[in-house]
Structure 1
Amino acid sequence: MNRQSQAAVLFLLGAALLHAGTTDLYLRYVKAGLRPMLLASGAVLIVAALATALYERRRGRRAGAQPSAAHAHPEPRVAWLLLLPLLALIMVAPPALGSYSALRSGTALQKPYAYGRLPAADPAPLSVVDYASRAAYDHGRSLHGRPVRVTGFLALDGSGAPYLVRMALNCCAADAQPVKIALTGALPPVLRPDAWLEVTGTYTPRLARDPVNNGPVPYLLVTSAKPVPVPPDPYDETWNN
């Protein structure tokens, strides 16, 4: 792989990063807050590629004007393997982590420093993390008498017990961990793992323990549930706030 080829690979990689950063594709890899850094990285790679190509073009002109006895050694062919991650980024968009990963990892629920006011809407829209932390650590004080609406994907344990889950991440998909809510009440007759549901319900003091790490898994008493499309950002970033 000569310098011109290296510049082409850099340019394609930068373009792929810009494409991912200007669409929702990047949300499959990193959290939303890293979007500016991703765009900046793509721009830097493109500038570096153009600078390399321009430098090599000028050097080639100078070399053509002067005789040279130096013998050019070809670059190792293994360098072309650098194209593999580029092709994977361009051609394959990995699915968001789902029920398989959720059931094999313990809940990442952590006690927050404080609880904000519930949204004024009725039912109150809450994230899986927000409802779970209020139910498990605040004993539902802010939830009493308020219907809530929570969205997540379904996971069914070995006994068929349903959980509403959202994978929470700190930086990127590689460190994603599940936060789980156990469901009881008016559930759909057919439950399909990894299906996304918008669940409306009320707080119940019932609390279970995650069999993987003994972490708290609060229950939600479901009054209605309906299937929804996978959201543009399938991850939850609020677990460590």
Structure 2
Amino acid sequence: MRRETQNILLVLLGGALLKISLNGTYLRYVKPTQLPWLIAAGTIMVAVAFISIGRDIIAARRPDGPVDVGHHHGSHSTWLLLLPVLAVFLIAPPALGEDSVNRAAARTPPAPSASSSEDFGFPPLPAGDVIDQRMRDFVERAAWDKSGSLNTRSVRLTGFIAHKGPDTFLARMTISCCAADAYPVKVKLDGPSLDTLAGDQWVQATVRIHPGTANKDTAYVPTATLQNLQLTQQPEDPYEY
């Protein structure tokens, strides 16, 4: 690969990292805690590229500078490396959604640490007719809370719609570090006209759980009656942790 090509790639890749860092779209790919590393990496790449370009220009202007009389036979495949970088600049890939939910292997929600198998130490739910919960908290409590604290409560969840066969789910992707290790947490919805909801549409859904549905036979995916639904925009940070 020629030095000029290397420098162009460094500028574009570093610029792409800085762009997604500054406009917030990096949250589609990594956790918020990765932001300083992205900015540092992008800045270093751009700086190294410009230092290299400057040195090449100075060397070319020297009277005794090297004269390149050969022919360069660069591989066209080298320029294919630009495609993912240009994709970030021109068409930023969206956050993971319905397709990722349907392709992901089922994963059992982790059981909280507890002093006994019957008491997982979930804190009391707040008061109110409708309470807000994260999807992951709701699914974990549905699967492991033996006291049934959710059974008589209406809970408002924020997620996106995912269809699989005749079933409709409210889903949210969870990541540990980045989108590469993402897995879905989801709730099977019970209600009329669910098939008319658009896949990947973000919603705020008020639900009430069907007791006992989050078990081994359902891969710990609870079923809940849909009480109310409001369309909403994708959150700035679409993932849970």
Give the aligned partner of residue 60 of structure 2: 60
Q: How much identity, in percent, do the aligned residues show? A: 37
Deviation at 1:44, TM superposition (A): 0.9
Aligned length in residues: 232
Identify if the C-alpha distance between structure 1 residues 58 and 68 changes in structure 2 by more than 3 Å, giving closer, same or farther.
closer
Alignment of 1:154 onto 2:153: no
Q: Structure 1 pair 194/80, CA: closer, same or farther in 2 (3 Å)?
A: closer
Show the counterpart of 1:126: 133
Distance 1:202 1:33 in 2: 34
Matches of 2:65 and 2:238 in 1, distance apart? 60
Structure 2 residue corresponding to 1:216, chosen from 220, 225, 231: 220
Q: Residues 2 and 75 of structure 1 are in contact (CA less than 8 Å); yes or no, is this contact kept in structure 2?
A: no
Check whether the contact 1:106–1:215 (CA below 8 A) recurs between aligned residues.
Answer: no
Match of 2:86 in 1: 87
Q: Is the partner of 2:212 in helix, strand or coil?
A: strand
Give 1:224's aligned amino acid: N
Give, as a single letter, the amino acid of the residue that structure 2 aligns with 1:76.
Answer: G
Cα deviation for residue 144 of structure 1 reads: 5.0
Letter aligned with residue 223 of structure 2: Y
2:72 equivalent in structure 1: 74
Q: CA deviation at 1:89?
A: 1.7
Aligned pair in 2 of structure 1 residues 138, 4: CA closer, same or farther (>3 Å)? same
Give the C-alpha shift of residue 174 in structure 1: 2.3
Deviates most, 179-188 or 133-142 = 179-188
Match status 1:180 vs 2:178: no
Structure 1 letter corresponding to 2:80: L
Q: 1:138 aligns with which of 145, 151, 166?
A: 145
* 1:156 Cα offset (Å): 2.3
Q: Report the aligned-residue RMSD.
A: 2.8
Q: Is the 8 A contact 2:142 2:214 kept in 1?
A: no
- Name stretches of at least 5 consecutive residues in structure 2 with no aligned partner: 114-120
Call closer, same or farther: CA 1:70–1:226 in 2, change over 3 Å: closer
Q: 1:59 to 1:106 in 2, by over 3 A?
A: same
The residue identity in structure 1 corresponding to 2:139 is: A
Q: Give the whole-Å Cα distance in 1 for the aligned partners of 2:195 and 2:183.
A: 28
Name the amino acid aligned to 1:136.
Answer: A
Does the 8 Å contact 1:198/1:225 carry over to 2? yes
Match of 1:100 in 2: 99
When the two structures are superposed, what TM-score results if normalisation uses the length of structure 2? 0.82
Q: Which moved more, 1:145-154 or 1:100-109?
A: 100-109
Structure number with higher relative contact order (C-alpha < 8 Å, ≥ 6 residues apart): 1
What residue number does 1:207 align with? 213
